[in-house]
Structure 1
Amino acid sequence: MTVSARPPRVLLLTSSPLDGADGSDVALARDVLGALPDIEFLWFSQWPGRRGRPLPPVGRAIALWSGDGAPHAPVRLQAALAGAVAARRADLVHAFLTIGRAFPAFSWLRPLMLGARPVVHSVPGVMDSRLLARTRPLGTTVALTESMARRLRAADFGDVRVIPPMVPLGRWPCLPRPEGVPVVLFVGHHDPHGGAAIAVEAAAEAARAGARFRLVLAMRGRPGQNTAALGDELRELSGAVGLTDFEVRGYVENMHALLASAHVLLFPPPVIGGKADIPFTVLQALATGRPAILSDLPQFADLGDAVLRAPAGDARRTGQQLLWLLEQPRVWDMLAERGRAIVEESFGPERFAAQYAALYRELLA
């Protein structure tokens, strides 16, 4: 996989530093960085590095000034400008960019910003499908699911491949069911249609029918959100619908421990919005052996019968699914086994590395 005597040089173009705040784009880029050791990667780092992740030990870092590592507008602007300069030194640009409000303008500036070198664009998600009509493909497009690939092809994105995200199975071992009062876990953002309110209403439905559990809402803020006020709104809603055993947390650093303590992952958003097409938390929960109840959205069809699905936005039906699962330990065991199996089969690191390595070879040839 060489274009000369040196290893191929690939720019990982993200909207924020790889060692900064969490996000589906940087998580996907970090996975590619770790999966392909024969590539010389260029990637963005946080400066000053006050609270970010440890620096990846490979590749060359390009510093972006950022106080918290989150993709605020000034950081995104720096990433675009630094990427335009670094692209001139790269053999290939690999962009990890959600299609949001600013993306259509960037896509039209692609020849100016990235030049003539080949581009791979891994699309974590699409904020609003209406944006696709105003967007040009950056190059070869990679979708995370077949559902997203169909949407992109219908929007004239041309060459669209499907490479599912990966779960490092060694870091996410399958664990036995925890003891004690069941914990029902929701992990998501404070978005208007992010699913937290439906999760609360579904939990209340199951509790009124006699289910005994503790609801934990682990909420991740986005830049500019008042997370304290939004958390108070969720507490008020939980109390108003009659829940007595619940907890609203902020961002949780140790997701391994959080999933280990949970019995069920409840993720019922009416739309995915700004999250990854298959949220990484869902895959991590399945790898850990935690059954998941999801909205019946097209992108979750790839998970088959390894999960339970309820109509999107239907809190009553979602609550009934939760009640049934909590009352059926044999079903819990069956879903835990199926969830781990589908992650091993479809989202393992070897398959992920092989598919991206083949795509790089094709484009660098």
Structure 2
Amino acid sequence: MTVSARTPRVLLLTSSPLDGADGTDVALARDVLGALPGFQFFWFSQWTGRRGRPPPPVGRPIALWSRDGAPHAPVRLQAAVAGAFAARRADLVHAFLTIGRTFPVYSWMRPLMLGARPVVHSVPGVMDSGLLARTRPLGTTVALTESMARRLRAADFGDVRVIPPMVQVGRWPYLPRPAGMPVVLFVGHHDPHGGAVIAVEAAAEAARAGARFRLVLAMRGRPGQHTAVLQGELRELAGAVGLTDFEVRGYVHDMHALLASAHVLLFPPPVIGGKADIPITVLQALSTGRPAVLSDLPQFADLGNAVLRAPAGDSRRTGQQLAWLLEQPRVWEMLAARGRATVEESFGPERFAVQYEALYRELLA
């Protein structure tokens, strides 16, 4: 039976289970799974352990053994091997893989692992630009932003498309400004250049300028990190720079409640690194009507005038932007409305579904 005579089979290739830990690759894969009902999907699920979320209600799961659903090395190896076998039953493979230190080796093994079938590779992020020179494209490459697309084309990745990530705007409704003491929220990882240190220093600058607020840092750990130690170091830094009203949390499961309580999202990393070009949390905050102060990085150019930007790595200027925003309620309202409109226009589910379905049909033809 030809592909045109039956429902096309698509393997969603991720480095960890879709019902496991958070990650942009997992979020993108789940969004594709829910947005394209006209395809039969295979996806990785946890065989045992503590699930981070309910399993998707559609598609056919492929079990991986995992203790906590995070992309530890044994889980990534299982995913590679299971993906190689499952690819033989698929008409198309859709990979959601960050270009990290092991990816160049995998890319050169692509014919052995994935065969001759068409491959779509959505790139959540690039850990180090130097890796691109040692990497071969898996197939048609999808970047999340025009900035990343230019980097990939310059590295001879060939056919590179741009499909921004999506936000279910119905699940992230626009909320009015909260009452009471303003809360400034940072959400990120304990990475050397993840932005948490600059966020603390910028908050201290804003406080010295007279702004009154509470800083909340919601920190996500990565496999192998000692999160309790890293959280303690952030608390010490906040105290050392003179902040008195702050809180360092671990991973927060209820992001809706966290954003509802916040007034401003502060996300000033000096570089993006392994994170998504536009972190999903930033889009969720804008959808909720929470203005954002971001680093002036090329990846954020797609957000236009819906956000405030400060020079990357400049905690003083970032703090000044934050203090100004907190003191200007009309500017706050204007940016909140712009952020919501930008998400609806450029990051909505309809556009996401149409673009990916068109790409699937093109490659399957």
TM-score, normalised on structure 2?
0.99
Give structure 1 stretches of 5+ with no counterpart: none
Whether the aligned pair in 1 keeps the contact of 2:22 and 2:52 (CA below 8 Å) is no
| 2-structure distance, mates of 1:229, 1:274 | 22
The corresponding residue for 1:78 is: 78
CA-to-aligned-CA distance 1:72-113 (integer Å, 9 cap, x gap): 000000000000000000000000000000000000000000
Letter in structure 2 aligned against 1:110: R
CA-to-aligned-CA distance 1:159-215 (integer Å, 9 cap, x gap): 000000000010000000000000000000000000000000000000011110000
Is 1:199 matched up with 2:207?
Answer: no
The corresponding residue for 1:57 is: 57
The corresponding residue for 2:176 is: 176
The corresponding residue for 1:300 is: 300
Is 1:234 matched up with 2:234?
Answer: yes
Matches for 1:109-124 after TM superposition, within 5 Å: 109-124=109-124
CA-to-aligned-CA distance 1:232-262 (integer Å, 9 cap, x gap): 0000000000000000000000000000000
Whether the aligned pair in 1 keeps the contact of 2:93 and 2:117 (CA below 8 Å) is yes
Whether the aligned pair in 1 keeps the contact of 2:147 and 2:299 (CA below 8 Å) is yes
Deviates more, 1:42-51 or 1:9-18: 42-51
Percent sequence identity over aligned pairs: 89
Matches for 1:234-273 after TM superposition, within 5 Å: 234-273=234-273
Q: What is the RMSD of the two structures over their aligned residues, measured on CA atoms?
A: 0.7
Query: Secondary structure at 2:235's aligned position in 1?
Result: helix
CA-to-aligned-CA distance 1:128-163 (integer Å, 9 cap, x gap): 000000000000000000000000000000000000
Is 1:26 matched up with 2:26?
Answer: yes
| 2-structure distance, mates of 1:140, 1:340 | 31
Query: Secondary structure at 1:218's aligned position in 2?
Result: strand
Alpha-carbon distance, 1:52 to partner? 2.9
Query: Secondary structure at 1:88's aligned position in 2?
Result: helix
| 1-structure distance, mates of 2:345, 2:16 | 31
Alpha-carbon distance, 1:49 to partner? 4.6
| 2-structure distance, mates of 1:191, 1:22 | 16
The corresponding residue for 1:323 is: 323
Whether the aligned pair in 1 keeps the contact of 2:16 and 2:79 (CA below 8 Å) is yes
| 2-structure distance, mates of 1:288, 1:340 | 7
Is 1:286 matched up with 2:318?
Answer: no
Matches for 1:145-156 after TM superposition, within 5 Å: 145-156=145-156
| 2-structure distance, mates of 1:78, 1:200 | 39
| 1-structure distance, mates of 2:4, 2:127 | 39
Letter in structure 2 aligned against 1:122: S
Whether the aligned pair in 2 keeps the contact of 1:47 and 1:67 (CA below 8 Å) is no
| 2-structure distance, mates of 1:188, 1:274 | 11
Query: Secondary structure at 1:216's aligned position in 2?
Result: strand
Letter in structure 2 aligned against 1:327: E
| 1-structure distance, mates of 2:103, 2:305 | 35
Query: Secondary structure at 2:218's aligned position in 1?
Result: strand
- Provide runs of 4+ in structure 1 moved above 6 Å: none
Letter in structure 2 aligned against 1:326: L
| 1-structure distance, mates of 2:294, 2:363 | 36
Whether the aligned pair in 1 keeps the contact of 2:217 and 2:249 (CA below 8 Å) is yes
Give structure 2 stretches of 5+ with no counterpart: none
| 2-structure distance, mates of 1:64, 1:326 | 47
Matches for 1:75-114 after TM superposition, within 5 Å: 75-114=75-114
Letter in structure 1 aligned against 2:314: D
Matches for 1:11-22 after TM superposition, within 5 Å: 11-22=11-22
TM-score, normalised on structure 1?
0.99
| 2-structure distance, mates of 1:267, 1:102 | 28
Whether the aligned pair in 2 keeps the contact of 1:46 and 1:52 (CA below 8 Å) is no
Alpha-carbon distance, 1:5 to partner? 2.6
